[in-house]
Each structure stands twice: as C-alpha cells, then as structure tokens.
Structure 1
C-alpha cells in the first residue's frame, strides 16, 4: 500500500491550484494525505483525491509566522513520522524554497521526496526539478512562467504520477449535498434565482483587493445593467460586504462556509473577485471569472485557471512583481482605476460573448 504526502503549506487558493497534482498522485497511489497550512485547510477538504488532511503552521511559509523552536520542530517531526508515508511531493511557488520543509520531512523518516529547487539540495531531495528561465539556462526543466496549477502538476509528474485518462487537468472541488442545500436556501431567502453575478470584494492580501467604494460602484453598475448581484465574504468581512452591497446587492457576507460558498459560486453567471482564494474556487466550479488582478504577482502564474476570464487592472503599474501585501503606491491605482462600467462590460463579454 503506497501512502503519499502532498505538501502545500499556503492558503486556500494555493491548495486549490494544487488540485490537479493531487488527482495525479491519487491516480497512482493507494492513499493521499494533504499536508497544508491552517489557511488552506478548507480547500483541502474539498479536493478530489484527498483521503486525509494534516495541518502544519509552517513558520517559513505562513504569512504571520510563529518562532522556529527546537521543541516545536520536534513536535512536527514526530507528527509527520506518525503518518508513516512512503514518500512526499512538496509543492511550492517559484519564490519559495522546499528545502527547509524537506529537512523536516527527512527528520521524520520520509524515504523519498520530490520538489523543485533552485538551490543545490544535497541529500534532502531524491527527485529534483530545476526551475528557471530555459532561455537563460538550458538545464532548466521547470519554466518559471508556468501557471501554478501546471507547475504543481509538473512536480507530481516528475515524482512518477500522471493524471488519469479523461482528466482535463482543470481545477475541481467536491461540493456535498448539504452545502448545495444551504446555498439554495440562502439564495431563496433573498428571492435570488440562478441568474445572478457574485461580487466578492475581500482578499486575504490587502494589496490585491478592490477598494470598498469601487466595489460598491461595481454593484451599483451591475444592478443598473440588469444583473442581480450577490456579495460574498468571510465572517470577518461582514462590515465590508454590507458597505459594498448597499441597498442594491444581496449581502451574504459571513453566511457561507467554504463549501457553501462553492455552491453559491457554482450557480452564478460570473464572479467578480480579486486575486484571492474565491477566484480559484470559482474556477474550480467552472464559472467565468472577472479578475481584479493587482500585478504584485505575475498573472501568467496566478490568474484564474481553466475557465473563461477577463483580467482588469493595470498590469504595468509600479507595484508590478513586488509581491507587496500592502499597496506601495498611494491611491492603489492598479485596481482603483477600474470602474463599475468596466466590470459591466467584462461581465457582458464572458456571459454573452459580446
């Protein structure tokens, strides 16, 4: 019996983008354990192919890291050793090193580890992919500009796992009947039928969020164009969603768990959202996405994957490529230059092809 640990220690969106890689591993292994950070736990629970979920708040990945201590590291090593996995596939973004994680996995006794590493891994990795720019280095076997879902799948494939026949490699989640019923009840309570647009104004990283006054303008413009608009948000975003929905939109802020949110998104005609987890959740349920994309990270890697999409925002703004969490430019021009009419036009294009 082959038990494989697939490691992706970031947030929900990152974990969703690892879905095709996890399905590839699941096609060739007897059991898949997803090792994720606490911010990725919700997504891991929805991914096809995941048999068990383990959580580790990794201090060199988490956005609000805890101190690295001998005691804490020892506890993690013991917990990973108790999983008794046969191998690990470590998934990272282009700017992350897998080597600290690989060291912990080695200490936990994991006998085979696959990852992509710019740095020489020594004995930390058994299978290594070399990321970079093939035009500059002919030894590169993982181009930096791959979409994140394809990057993760390439790492899984080098470990020896391929998608099964008939799997198109797009994002996917499993939404259970209870979540579908809850979504249907919420929408029915607000007299919302299947013809609506979702606007999700929040983002886990402030630099990637449309400002509230612009998001409210988007709701008003979409409503004036004849769309019913449902505004969604996390429990900590209820003040934001109330402000953005105003009197024109339907405010579901804080009322949907992750599975229920997936069900709400799945019934929508289109989703308007920043570069954050729900953008990838919308892609995973096959809905067109209007992506308010701040260029702090590259869109070719992080834009919604595998669905019709339109990117809005100045991709040549001064913040480009900075990976900034808080906008470094006064006035947040990359996104706040996007107006409500721009969103209406984009929604019309993806929904009606006009």
Structure 2
C-alpha cells in the first residue's frame, strides 16, 4: 500500500466527478489521497468519497481562460507539492490534454512515481505510460489508469459515480407539494454555448413538461440566474439559490433531470437520478454522456458540429439541440419515470 498519493484532474466540475471511481480505487490502496483540481472543479472535488485533501491550482495548459505562466506561480506549486511528501501521482486528463506539463512539475517536486494516460513520448517524466484501447466512457478510462497502477475498487463498489453523504435538507426550497408529488429538474446551462439549447427552447421544454402534469424545478448557478429566470416562467426557479451540496440534494430528489452536457448532469448521475441528456455532438456521447444511470440521449449526433469541440455552435440555428421537439423531452421523461417505477431503481 502506498502511503501518500496525489490524483490530478484539473478542469471542470463534471470532469472531476467522473474521476470519482479512480479516486476511490486509489483511496482503497493508499493511506492518504490528495486531489489536485483547477478552480472550476474544486467544489466537486470536495464532495468525492476517498479524498482527504483538495489542492487547487489553475493549469495554464488546461483552463479555458489561462493565466500567464510565471516562475513565481509554478515555483509555488512545486513547493506545495514537495511539502506533501508524495509517494506517487496519477495525472488524469481528457484525450486532447497532455499530462506532461504537470508531470514535469511533479518531478521537480520530487515525486518518485508518476502515471498517466499518454500518447506522446514522455521521456523520464512518467513511470507508467498507460494506453486505453477503444473509446470507453471517461469514468472507465480514468479508472483504468488506477487499475494499471495496481489499485482496485474495494469490494462492493460498483464503479458508478458517487458523492459524500448525507446531503443537506432542501425541503424549504422545494415545498410540500413537490416533495409529495415528485418533480422534474431542468438545468438549461452548460459551460460553453455550443452545448446548451437556446433559452427559448429550454423554456418550451419547461412549458411542455408542465402541460404534461409535471412539477418543474429550474436550476443554475448565480451567474446563470438570468437564464434560469427566462427559462422557468411559472416553474420554480432555483437559479443562484443553491450551493453545490444543495444542488446535489435537489437533483437527488428529482424523478428525472433534463440537462445538456454539463457538470450538473454528471452530478445527477452521482446521486443516482436518471437523465434526459440534451447532448450536442461537439464531443462524443460515448465518452461524455451521464454514466451509470438510465439515460435517454436527445440531439442530432450526426450534426455538422460533430467531434469539433466547438465552444460556439458553428451551424446556423443550433439544430442539434434547438431542433429537439418539446414532445420528445416529455416522452423521454415518461420513459425514465416508468422504467424507475417498474424496476425499482429509485433511491
């Protein structure tokens, strides 16, 4: 058993959640796990089971609004890493990110063993250069690195996403009627415009769900409160009213979550709630769709933006998402609620 291991995943909220099974495997085979995140992913890092400490640093080669590279900033990270007296580190990245810049800094901090998924020649920067065949879900891809490094999930751990419990009470936010009758969450925002429907289309989804008899809750961050207000209409607007643990609790109580490819969709999966995934094909659904829960995938997966990693939709009218009929969302919610009731997989 290794004493002190660092796991790094330095991008967004959802990416860190998907690292959860890998983190739990490492925790089962070590005495202490330090999770290194970027500032955008720290909140979910604090929710992951198996994490003993969260260290945050903004990586200039990963963050979409990168800070300048300075000797002072990188030197401070190296000093912080050296003070941890690490025995090993696993560097988790998406397929288009390089683990080598961080591996170099870890070597400078004296970390004696480093592993990563890496296609580039690593020289002496890596002790384990892991290759992942095929195109598995991102959570499986990251877990495979831990397994290649000799770590295994503990007995009884099925490898799904998970967060720490208990979650905070949210009865005061939702009210008695929703708690008794059930509700559907619509989360309209994503981290980049190409991955979210227009406000008008999301508002149409909300109205159609209400017409079908569902109570609807609209969620979003404080920065997204203008969007949630426009989308919610007469539905309950919780935009800007929940911290991440409260958001997790709202998602956990929902019958179904309707969301684009965004962190809260993965948070819904981590609390076991089925997801209607409004998925723009700018990245592959095979890797990035919600993992480990029942999912209905909506959106044209063969649209002109496919695999482009575009941040702004390059196709006029955003047809892959704004072309989704409101009735298809209602039908998908009905399918998932019926499935949950019939197989007994509600929490």
User: Partners in 1 of 2:46 and 2:166 — Cα distance?
Assistant: 11
Measured in 1, the distance between the counterparts of 2:171 and 2:107 equals 47
2:138 aligned to 132, 145, 148, which one? 148
Deviations 1:187-230 (A, max 9, x none): 12x74225000000011111101110000000000000010000
Deviations 1:101-149 (A, max 9, x none): 100110111110010110111100011112xxxxxxxxxxx12401000
Provide the alpha-carbon RMSD of the alignment: 1.2
Q: Contact between 1:217 and 1:339, CA under 8 Å: does it hold in 2?
A: no
Give the drift of 1:68.
1.1
Give the structure 2 partner of residue 135 of structure 1: none
Residue equivalent to 1:162: 152
* Distance in 1 separating the partners of 2:135 and 2:269: 20
2:201 to 214, 218, 241: 214
The 5 Å alignment of 1:57-136 reads 57-130=58-131
Cα shift readout 1:71-104 (whole Å, capped 9, x = no counterpart): 2211111111112111101111111111111001
Q: Distance in 2 between matches of 1:22 and 1:298?
A: 23
5+ long unaligned stretches in structure 2: 343-347
Among residues 278, 282, 291, which one is paired with 2:268 in the alignment? 282
Find the counterpart in structure 2 of residue 298 from structure 1: 284
In structure 1, the residue corresponding to 2:141 is in which secondary structure? helix
Q: Secondary structure at the match of 2:310?
A: coil
* 1:271-350 equivalent positions in 2, closer than 5 A: 271-350=257-336
How many residues end up aligned between the 2 structures?
A: 338
Gaps of 5+ in 1: 131-141
Structure 1 residue 342: Cα displacement? 1.0
1:39 pairs with 2:71: no
Runs of 4+ in 1 over 6 A off after TM superposition: none
Say if 2:45 is the partner of 1:48: no
Counterpart of 1:136 in structure 2 is: none
8 Å contact 1:175–1:262 — kept in the other structure?
no
The match for 2:164 is 174
**Distance in 1 separating the partners of 2:252 and 2:333:** 16
Verify the 8 A CA contact 1:208 1:275 in the aligned structure 2: yes
Q: Secondary structure at the match of 1:60?
A: coil
The equivalent of 2:345 in structure 1 is none
- For 1:2-32, what per-residue CA distance to the aligned partner results, in whole angstroms no more than 9, with x for missing partners? 0100000011100000000000000000000
Measured in 1, the distance between the counterparts of 2:242 and 2:258 equals 17
Counterparts of 2:203 and 2:177, CA distance in 1:
21
